[in-house]
Structure 1
Amino acid sequence: MWTNNTLNPPYFQFTMFADFGTSLRSICFCLCLLIYLIIIVANSAIAMIVISQKSLHRPMYIFLCCLSLNSLYGSAAFFPRFLNDVLSDAHLISRASCFAQMYVIHSCKGQEINILTIMAYDRYVAVFQPLRYNSKMSLSVVRYLLLAAVLHPVFVFGFIFYLTAKLPLCENKLKKMYCTIWSVVELSCVDTRTLENISQLLVALFIFLPLGFVLYTYLRILLVCRSRSSDFKKKTLQTCIPHIVTFVNYCTAVFCEVTLSLFTIEKANMFVVAVLSLEFLLIPPVSNPLVYGLNLPQIRAVIVRRVKLFKICFKPNRTQIDSTMTSSF
């Protein structure tokens, strides 16, 4: 039974921000701002290319578009607040803003893993059931899969979020640079072992079940490629390798972040802790559009065509320049 005199702080304070001086702050701010701009431009470009090109209105590219939109969704919950904290002396965040950031980041994490898992299933059907691909991966099926991928983590993390919000908190110092469920639960005045066990079980299911499915899927695909023609191998690996790289990269980043939250960090190197805790928010949103944009020929062809069109539109007209120079003389 929780008492009415339990302290529930109206704000939280991030304790992992160190004062490195104005010059280092400015460098860190500029670097993080550059990363955020790259995330916005790269992921927006991929999403707009897929939406605007009717030839790309196919399951694989629709999933890629959703992956880019999800990166924008998660980054918007982290970067504006983080950039403000880099330049600020008081790293305070209101309770409502903290819980909102926590919910968006965790739901984004779950949605990304779900979308990557569905993309593995899409490649599996394309390789093993090519004649039934159009029926098994129709647009209606794609819509249902994406709806499940989005709503599943919303409900799961919504339940954990509700339990976390009900906890009485006796402190307000978060050992993080952003809000997470684990960091808030650590501030509770009551025994939270049940909530921690439920959360750890759900996180393990979120990471290891999709990882096992994807590894099984691509292992079978690679075994099939061994006995097929070189042209088949090239086309299959061209679409599968970017996804394997993206999925392993993301699972590794999430695993580092989750593992870090389970251990005491007071004795660890703060720089290493900061890098590991921010990895899944920085690396995947930047690497995903670059990996797919550079490796998928359909995406790369549209990018090259638009860059050439951009150069033509802004290339000075030589005839006009010459006539202008002649008239001036």
Structure 2
Amino acid sequence: MMDNISQIRMFFLSGLNETHNHIFTLFFLTLLCYCVILLVNISIIVIIIMDKNLHEPMYILLCTFSMNALYGTTGFYPKLLWDLLSPVHVISYSGCLVQAQIIASFACVDLSILSVMAYDRYVAICRPLEYHSVMSKQRLILLVCYSWLTPFFIVAANMFLTSRLKLCSPYITRFFCVNWTIVKLACIPAETAINSIGTYITILIYFFHGMFIVLSYICLIKTCANSIENRVKFMQTCVPHLVSLFILLLTILFDVMIMRFGSKDFPQAFKNFVAIEILVIPPLMNPLIYGFKLTKIRNRVLVVMTLKTK
């Protein structure tokens, strides 16, 4: 079997071939976007770590959310910025696998953290008297580890299956690597059947994550309907989670639809925009949504800004 492993050591990325006329504008906008993502996410992380009043499960989960945004975008933006200034857009075979692992696990970790956040809000609002015993420090650590390690190893298993394929082309039609773009290059399509099974199992696992989130919020809405205090809690702490979930699922859905049904019918620029959405909108919008909506974080940001202006 080892003899069948691909001898390709370098991939050529063709997704940026039509951008030569706007290369410096794209470089500036990409660099600006990455800097803002770093600024807002690092700010959220530092504020939560430094303020002991924010050492609560909800805010610690938000901190891991921002850490995941840094993890995912670091696997993408530095390489893109380098390619925008390079005449040839290439990536090594191992580098492509690593980038695909980071981007896929980033999306799965986001969904896992959102499911843990939904559980946290369910316990806080539907079972408030049990909250501190249920969401103990030990359980919180286990949930955080689950939300990071489980997606990482699930995606790693899929990437291992991909690494065993013999590839017949070094040309990738995107400007970054994801698992399916590598699988499409397999010399013998029949050999990719096990990859498809692994992909469907992963989709099924995270479909159940989504169902868990939906059921949690159905219970929350029922509980909050009869209480003004709970409705206020729901609007302050649950609405940001729902907005984050909606943004994540919408960006994934657009990308999947383009991959499956319209990859040849749309211009490359549009496909690039759809492909990059998951690495722009959630990492950029989530910290802003939570920063403006969660009172404690908003107040802390205002205090810091006031001190700096004095």
Which of 267, 278, 281 does residue 283 from structure 1 map onto? Answer: 281
State the aligned residue count: 309
Q: Quick check: 94-103 or 220-229, which moved more?
A: 220-229
CA RMSD of aligned residues (A): 1.6
Could you tell me the TM-score, scaled by structure 2's length? 0.95
Match of 1:223 in 2: 222
Q: In structure 2, how many angstroms separate the alpha carbons of the residues matched to 1:165 and 1:198? A: 15
Shift of 1:224: 2.0
Amino acid in structure 2 at the alignment position of 1:145: L
Percent identity over the alignment? Answer: 32
Distance 2:172 2:23 in 1: 21
By how many angstroms is 1:7 displaced?
Answer: 5.4
Q: Tell me, yes or no, if the aligned pair for 1:207 and 1:251 is still in contact at 8 Å.
A: no
The CA distance in 1 between the partners of 2:19 and 2:158, in whole Å, is: 36
- Which of 1 and 2 has greater Rg? 1
Aligned match for 2:23, one of 16, 22, 25: 25
Q: 1:46 aligns with which of 44, 47, 52?
A: 44
Per-residue deviation, 1:162? 0.8
State the partner residue of 2:85. Answer: 87
Q: How far off is 1:170 after superposition?
A: 0.6
Question: What is the alpha-carbon distance in structure 1 between the residues aligned to residue 278 and residue 179 of structure 2?
Answer: 16
1: CA distance, partners of 2:94 / 2:200: 26
Q: Does 1:205 align with 2:208?
A: no
1:106, 1:3 → 2: CA distance? 28
Does structure 1 conserve the Cα–Cα contact (< 8 Å) formed by 2:68 and 2:110? yes
With over 3 angstroms needed to count, the CA separation of the structure-2 counterparts of 1:55 and 1:165, relative to structure 1, is same
Contact 1:35 1:282 (C-alpha < 8 Å) held by counterparts: yes
**4+ residue runs of structure 1 moved beyond 4 angstroms?**
1-4
Higher relative contact order (CA 8 A, sep 6+): 2
Matches within 5 A, 1:131-150: 131-150=129-148
Q: 1:203 deviation in Å?
A: 3.6
**One-letter code of the match for 1:44?**
I
Q: Tell me the equivalent position of 2:55.
A: 57
Distance, in Å, in 2 between the alignment partners of 1:196 and 1:215 is 29
The amino acid that maps onto 1:85 is D
Rounded Cα–Cα distance in structure 2 between residues aligned with 1:155 and 1:196: 15
Deviation at 1:50, TM superposition (A): 0.5
Shift of 1:264: 5.8
- 1:71 alignment partner, one of 69, 79, 88: 69
Structure 1 stretches lacking a partner, 5+ long: 313-329
Unaligned runs of 5+ in 2: none
Take 2:19 and 2:193, find their aligned partners in 1: how far apart are those partners?
A: 39
C-alpha separation between the residues in 1 aligned to 2:187 and 2:175?
Answer: 22
CA positional deviation for 1:3: 5.5
* Code of the aligned partner of 2:241: H
Q: Which residue of 1 aligns with 2:290?
A: 292
Q: State the TM-score, normalized to the length of structure 1.
A: 0.90
